[in-house]
């Protein structure tokens, strides 16, 4: 006697493909939740777009009636800015976006004033750079600190200072 086929027992369907589809579906639900949460901030918020791949930008559209209405846009922006904290990170006092050369063109980098090396699961530690060797060693270990020293020594500013060291001194600093 044949057993009844379950919902996942269809011939020819790859289980990995099903799992990938379900993961993408869950991701889309999270994106929809984020969009709806922003749209519910107020009746003037009519559209919300954001970069889902690199998370570099977000755009909010505010709409107001133009009939018999004067809008002090500065007051509107100041009101919303005071109500919203985009994100605050302890130890970081200021940050700037900058462009760096990458293999596939220019790439955006976040440069900070201050140090906070938390959130290893979010930050790509293979691309993280900090000029505080002590903090690198304390957070990621001595091997990471060694690589940070090598990076600092390869910077143009340090290159002129490095001329004061002999080759043996450099090996002592960074290892063979």
Structure tokens at 73: 């846009």
* DSSP label at residue 117: -
Task: Give Cβ neighbours of residue 159 (< 8 Å, ≥ 6 apart).
Answer: 153
Tally the C-alpha atoms within 13 A of residue 19's C-alpha that lie toward its C-beta: 3
Task: Say if residues 50 and 59 touch (Cβ distance below 8 Å).
Answer: yes
* Predicted pLDDT of residue 24: 67
Query: What 3-state class would DSSP assign to 151?
Result: helix
Please give the pLDDT value at position 47.
92
How confident is the model at residue 12, as a pLDDT?
53
- From CA 113, how far away is CA 89, in angstroms rounded? 11
Contact of 82 with 76, CB cutoff 8 Å: no
Q: What is the pLDDT along the chain (176 residues), one digit of tens a residue?
A: 444 544 544 455 677 766 666 666 667 678 888 888 888 888 888 999 988 887 778 888 888 887 767 778 788 778 777 776 666 778 888 888 888 888 888 888 888 888 887 777 777 777 777 878 888 888 888 988 888 888 877 777 655 554 555 444 444 444 44
* 131: DSSP letter: S
Map tokens 């994106």 to a residue.
31
**Structure tokens that stand for 86 in this block:** 């985009």
Q: What contacts 24+ positions apart, CB below 8 Å, involve 146-151?
A: 146/174, 146/175, 149/173, 149/174, 150/174
Q: Phi, psi at residue 112, to the nearest 5°?
A: -120, 155
Strands (E) across the chain are located at: 45-50, 58-62, 92-102, 105-114
Whole-angstrom CA distances from 73 to 60, 118, 136 are: 14, 37, 44
What is the residue extent of each domain of the chain? 15-83, 117-176
Cβ–Cβ contacts within 10 Å for residue 145, how many?
Answer: 19
Distance, CA of 94 to CA of 59 (rounded, Å)? 22
Model-level pTM? Answer: 0.42
How confident is the model at residue 45, as a pLDDT? 87
Which residue matches tokens 């929809």?
32
């Amino acid at each position: 006697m044949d057993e009844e086929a379950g919902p996942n027992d269809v011939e020819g369907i790859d289980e990995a493909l099903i799992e990938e589809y379900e993961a993408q579906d869950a991701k889309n639900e999270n994106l929809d939740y984020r969009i709806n949460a922003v749209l519910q901030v107020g009746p003037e918020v009519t559209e919300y777009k954001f970069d889902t791949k690199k998370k570099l930008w977000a755009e909010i559209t505010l709409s107001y009636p133009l009939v018999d209405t004067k809008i002090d846009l500065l007051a509107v922006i100041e009101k919303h800015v005071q109500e919203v904290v985009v994100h605050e990170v302890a130890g970081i006092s200021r940050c700037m976006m900058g462009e760096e050369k990458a293999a596939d063109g220019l790439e955006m980098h976040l440069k900070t004033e201050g140090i906070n090396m938390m959130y290893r699961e979010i930050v790509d530690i293979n691309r993280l750079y900090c000029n505080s060797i002590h903090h690198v060693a304390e957070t990621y270990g001595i091997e990471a600190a060694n690589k940070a020293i090598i990076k600092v020594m390869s910077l143009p500013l340090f290159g002129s200072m490095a001329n004061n060291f002999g080759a043996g001194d450099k090996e002592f600093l960074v290892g063979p």
